[in-house]
Chain A
Amino acid sequence: MQKDGLEAIIMEICNPIIYHFLRSLKNNSQTITIFELQALFLRHFKKMPSQYYLFLSLALFCIGVMGVLMRRNAIIILMCIELMLNAVNLLLVTFSKMYNDPNAQLFVFFIMVVAAAEVSIGLAIIVMMYRKVHSIDVHILNRLKN
């Protein structure tokens, strides 16, 4: 594959999909196979430093925390908690790859199992609450106090 200066910069900065999209817009003669695409992806992501994943999962985690603190709907709070747990899962997989250590990926499975158990209990509790007060707004709990 020949790359001129501009294309090389695009390849560096943007992700491979955009690169290929641009190539196909230019109507180059070369056809793209799925294997090429995959190879490009892998090459690109291997270069991607693990800090990026750290920032991504911390951002997801913070979105989850803000959601728990600010939303009023119990089910949305539950979804935000799941978002927090999944951010942790992503980070664990990243570290696992970084250290070449399978223990962290095992940890992810445990988190998934426990999260499933927790959600089943949580939804049951929310249903029980809904039957009583016909609302899943958590602010209604403050009105019940004493």
Chain B
Amino acid sequence: MNAIVLSGIWGVVMMFAGLFLKSSKQIQWTALLGIIALLVVSILDYQAHSVQAQTYFGMMTIDVYTSWFSILITACCAMYLLIFHKDIAAVGKNEAEYFALIFFVMCGVYLLASYSNLLILFLGIEILSIPQYILAGSDKENIKSNEASLKYFLMGAFSTGLLLMGMTLIYGATGSFDITSEKFVGQFEQLSSMSSLSFVGILLLLISFGFKVSAAPLHLWTPDVYDGSPTAFTPFMATIVKVSVFVAFIRLFHFSFGNVSDAWQIAIASMIVLTLIIGNVTAVYQQSLKRMMAYSSIAQAGFMLFSIFAVNSTLAYKGILLYSVVYSLASIGVFAVIIKMKDYTYDGFNGLAKKQPVLAFTATVCLLSLVGIPLTGGFFAKYFVLSAVVEQGKYIWIVVFAVLMAAISAYYYFRVIRSMYFKTGEAAMHTEPTTWDKTLLILNAMIILLLGVLPSLVFG
């Protein structure tokens, strides 16, 4: 798995780049070079590992699924860096360090994609989280950024404690950290033979997972953190980090705890219901678009939880892959427009369609994809995760409920489109988009539309 090594090394390279390269442009180009190299290396990894392979003393399992996910998530990160690299450099003085931290987060993402030992899961989650605490507080002069950073740190460290306790209790019940070992698999063969330690362990893991993906009732930090962090980093936290935590836990819950799904499915079901209600209803009342996107990311996490909820279904894996890519690209597209604006409220977007037709069009495509309108990728993403639950045959009512909630979400997404197209006003820009920005945004929108027609492209 060369991508893990390269992402770690490139993080260090970026830190040295801050020391030796004088101009900001050169640092940005180094970062872009790094992410392209990462993409190439992960594609090479994919070709090399056509069969399942164990590396790092059996602590990591690399198969087609994990290396394909690595490619997709690296591509999303490349899109993010290409669109936002100027804004990242503009956050503060230490631009090289921001890029370095992003590369360290990518290292954590690769670990999470291919762990087969609870130790690596723990390390991956920590490597993923710790750089984010710094990124959230990187706008040091802004008190909201400081607040976001402290809040994120306290919540994140607390959930790490719960995660570790869960892992320890599961170790106490099984006697092994290796999720593929016989002892581990034997413990979770059937519900009646499970010890009470593993029940509590699974529950604690679930709580910690809820914290990391901001599922209700553990979502309370999310709006403040996403709103307070610099706008350049919010899409990174809301998309790439969140979906990789999902992919990590789907492995654990399906492969290891799949046979004892009766023990935890009801907990996930209540999490889904709460997340969908709280995320969607609260998003309706927001005035700031950035805060609305924070609540919308909570609501979308509710939909992604369906893929964990539907056990032993191939549709669930397809669903989470497609949902990861489509949701990441759509959120990145919306944030790319938000960051160009001076005023983040709905009124600030009035009349954007006349002034910047390209930006308004790409934002519309992304918002439609977030709602799940047919012909955009979001439709098939929602379709796959929901039909995985239908295929499972239990808890059908929750699907009906989710569709109703998607209808509520249409209200606040369409409100942005109405502001842009049907209201008159002076949409004041913070920075004027260049032709390069517009090209990338159109490319982003085209990928979303293409996935709406040919969703099988992301299944590999």
Contacts and interface: CB of A to CB of B under 8 A. Distances in A.
Nearest to B156: A118
B66 to A, nearest CB: 22
B150 A99 contact: no
10 contacts: A61-B165, A78-B157, A95-B168, A95-B175, A101-B175, A103-B119, A111-B164, A122-B153, A128-B149, A129-B146
A81 B158 contact: yes
A144 B122 CA distance: 33
Given A118-B126, A121-B130, A144-B144, A138 B150 contact: yes
B147 A141 contact: yes
Interface of A: 54, 61, 64-65, 68, 74, 77-78, 81, 84-85, 87-88, 91-92, 95, 98-99, 101, 103-104, 106-107, 110-111, 114, 117-118, 121-122, 125-126, 128-129, 132-133, 138, 141, 144-145
* Residue among B122, B126, B151 facing the most chain A CB atoms (10 A cut-off): B126
Interface in B371-401: none
A91 B172 contact: yes
Interface string B159-183: 0111011001101100111000000
Contact of B150 (A92, A114, A126): A126
A144 B161 contact: no
Given A81-B160, A144-B144, 11 more contacts: A81-B154, A84-B161, A84-B162, A107-B171, A117-B126, A118-B160, A121-B130, A122-B157, A129-B146, A141-B151, A144-B143
Interface stretch (B31-39, B133-141, B239-247): B133-141
Interface of B: 119, 122-123, 126, 130, 133-134, 137, 140, 143-144, 146-147, 149-151, 153-154, 157-158, 160-162, 164-165, 168-169, 171-172, 175-177, 224
Contacts of A87: 165
Contacts of B175: 95, 99, 101
Contacts of B147: 129, 141, 144
B149 A110 contact: no
B133 A121 contact: yes
Contacts of B169: 91
A91 B147 CA distance: 34
A138 to B, nearest CB: 7
Contacts of A68: 154, 158
Nearest to A83: B161
B150 A125 contact: yes
Contact of B172 (A54, A61, A111): A54
Nearest to B136: A125
Contact of B119 (A98, A110, A125, A133): A110
A65 B143 CA distance: 27
Contact of A88 (B146, B165, B176, B224): B165
Given A88-B168, A144-B143, A125 B133 contact: yes
A98 B140 CA distance: 48
B154 A128 contact: no
B165 A81 contact: no
Contacts of B140: 128
B154 A138 contact: yes
A42 to B, nearest CB: 23
Contacts of A128: 137, 140, 146, 149
B171 A95 contact: yes
Contacts of B151: 141
Contacts of B171: 92, 95, 104, 107
A91 B168 contact: yes
Contacts of A84: 158, 161-162, 164-165
B161 A81 contact: yes
Cβ-closest 8 pairs across A and B: A84-B161, A88-B164, A99-B175, A81-B157, A95-B172, A114-B126, A91-B168, A129-B146
A139 B158 CA distance: 17
A70 B398 CA distance: 35
A45 B6 CA distance: 48
Contact of A77 (B122, B137, B154): B154
Contacts of A98: 172
Contacts of A110: 119, 122-123
A46 B413 CA distance: 64
B130 A118 contact: yes
A62 B338 CA distance: 43
A7 to B, nearest CB: 36
B143 A133 contact: yes
Nearest to B144: A144
A141 B150 contact: yes
A54 B165 CA distance: 11
Contacts of A133: 143
Contacts of A111: 122, 164
Nearest to B131: A121
A126 B133 CA distance: 12
B390 to A, nearest CB: 38
A67 B126 CA distance: 22
A92 B169 CA distance: 9
Contacts of B176: 101, 103
B160 to A, nearest CB: 7
A120 to B, nearest CB: 10
